[in-house]
């Protein structure tokens, strides 16, 4: 293999950040050519820095995708280059028996298009905080950094988003806060209703303001993005969200729209309202505060 270099460390760190990545996702997040990087991936796998497995998403037919995981040697290489990964995180990152495989790949796809959005709009910068990242501090009892607890009715309810991110327009000096929920249709609608109640309480009690320190700015509300993986599920959840008012801060779309048209396109049903034109998440109007 050619000499191990900084670009290899960037790749290993990127895999660690997302837990695992398809080759297409890895090259997109790193801004590299898929064709040019493929040989390098093969060399890293041959030298046991990474391992790969073939996977058909959602059980679909067709050519499977190659998915990259770190091996112990890859973890050691990161540590040798002053990238800190704890023992517990190392076991998590090298395990390939993943129960929510397609769910994580869907979150990774979202991150790819978030990167493309900030790359295309030069004054727009994205900062994504991941549930799976080993580079964020853990909270009490090992809860991920983006996990939190909010009072809903008479009970405390713990929740962990699939991601939290900000979009900062450097020219206008404006920043928007988003929470991401990737939905593959595996959860009952009653569970989705609970999530909506949790985020409504989080908005109402200003719990989200803990991210002012993370992003170094004042925050005035947030938008909850629900990305689904089928058109039928999208319609059902829009009806559910629309009944759960106030839900002005909840925006829905499906992953095919994200992939086909981009995150900033007018693909989002604000508040689940199907009777209104779709909107862009970069709109300036502030969301209604849940009462």
3-state secondary structure of 61: coil
The pair of three-digit structure tokens given for residue 37, joined into one six-digit string: 């990087």
Helices 6-18, 34-46: crossing angle, 10 deg rounding = 90
In this prediction the pTM is: 0.92
What local confidence, expressed as pLDDT, does residue 288 receive? 47
| Residue 142: closest CA among 208, 78, 92, 204 | 92
Could you give all domains of the chain from N- to C-terminal order, each with its CATH number?
6-98 (1.10.10.10), 104-270 (3.40.1350)
Tell me, what's the pLDDT at 172? 65
- Low-confidence stretches of the chain (pLDDT < 50) are 286-289, 291
The alpha carbon of 164 is separated from its chain's Cα centroid by a whole number of angstroms, namely 7
User: Which of 64, 35, 34, 36 lies closest to 52 in space, CA to CA?
Assistant: 64
Residue 291 has a pLDDT of: 46
Tell me the per-residue pLDDT of 142-178, one tens digit each, with 9 for 90 and over: 789 999 999 999 999 999 999 999 998 776 668 899 9
Q: What is the pLDDT of residue 69?
A: 95
| pLDDT at residue number 86 | 79
Are the C-beta atoms of residues 177 and 221 closer than 8 Å to each other?
yes
pLDDT of residue 166: 94
Query: Are 170 and 164 contacting, i.e. CB atoms less than 8 angstroms apart?
Result: no
> In this predicted structure, what is the pLDDT of residue 115?
93
**CA 271 – CA 251 distance, rounded (Å):** 6
Q: What is the pLDDT of residues 192-234, one digit of tens each?
A: 999 999 999 999 999 999 999 999 888 999 999 999 998 889 9
């Amino acid at each position: 293999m050619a000499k191990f270099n900084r670009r290899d460390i960037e790749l290993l760190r990127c895999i660690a950040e997302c837990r695992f990545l398809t080759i297409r996702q890895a090259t997109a997040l790193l801004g590299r050519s898929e064709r040019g990087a493929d040989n390098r991936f093969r060399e890293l796998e041959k030298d046991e820095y990474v391992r790969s497995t073939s996977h058909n998403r959602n059980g679909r037919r067709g050519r499977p995708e190659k998915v990259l995981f770190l091996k112990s040697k890859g973890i050691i290489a990161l540590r040798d280059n002053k990238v800190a990964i704890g023992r517990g995180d190392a076991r998590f990152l090298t395990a390939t028996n993943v129960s929510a495989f397609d769910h994580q790949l869907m979150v990774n796809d979202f991150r790819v298009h978030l990167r493309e959005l900030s790359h295309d709009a030069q004054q727009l910068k994205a900062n994504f905080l991941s549930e799976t990242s080993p580079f964020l501090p853990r909270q009490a009892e090992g809860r991920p950094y983006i996990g939190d607890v909010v009072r809903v009715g008479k009970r405390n309810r713990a929740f962990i988003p699939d991601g939290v991110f900000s979009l900062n327009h450097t020219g206008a000096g404006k920043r928007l806060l988003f929470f991401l929920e990737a939905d593959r249709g595996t959860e009952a609608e009653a569970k989705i209703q609970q999530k909506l109640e949790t985020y409504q309480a989080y908005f109402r009690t200003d719990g989200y303001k803990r991210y002012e320190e993370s992003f170094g700015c004042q925050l005035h509300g947030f938008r909850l993005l629900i990305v689904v993986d089928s058109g039928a599920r999208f319609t059902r959840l829009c009806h559910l969200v629309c009944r759960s008012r106030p839900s002005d801060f909840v925006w829905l779309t499906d992953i095919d729209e994200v992939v086909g048209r981009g995150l900033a396109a007018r693909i989002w049903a604000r508040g689940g309202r199907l009777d209104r034109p779709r909107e862009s998440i970069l709109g300036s109007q502030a969301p209604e505060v849940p009462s």
